Amino acid sequence: MLKWFSIPGIMTEVKRVRWPKQKEMVRDSLTVVSFTFVFGVFFVVCEIAVAAFLKLLGIGA
């Protein structure tokens, strides 16, 4: 069996991980939420633009 695939091996790996500080975690979380919001707005605007273009062509409802 693999040495790291055991409870002591897993505990050793957990100790090696550099866990983020609270300030870093908040900053990174806000970055993710901001990008998600911006991309969501972008895709909604694109959908509205395409729907308006198709309606102008007489294809859309």
**Model confidence over 35-45: pLDDT tens digits?**
999 999 999 99
Q: Cα separations (Å) of 34 from 3, 24, 26, 45, 50? A: 41, 15, 12, 17, 24
Q: Is the dihedral of CA 11, 15, 21, 24 positive or negative?
A: negative
Percent of the chain with pLDDT over 90: 66
Confidence of residue 4 (pLDDT cuts 50, 70, 90): low
Query: How far apart are the C-alpha atoms of 58 and 50, rounded to whole Å?
Result: 12
Do 60 and 51 meet the contact criterion of CB atoms below 8 Å apart? yes
Confidence of residue 5 (pLDDT cuts 50, 70, 90): confident
Q: Where are the domains of the chain?
A: 25-61
* 39, two tokens: 């991309």
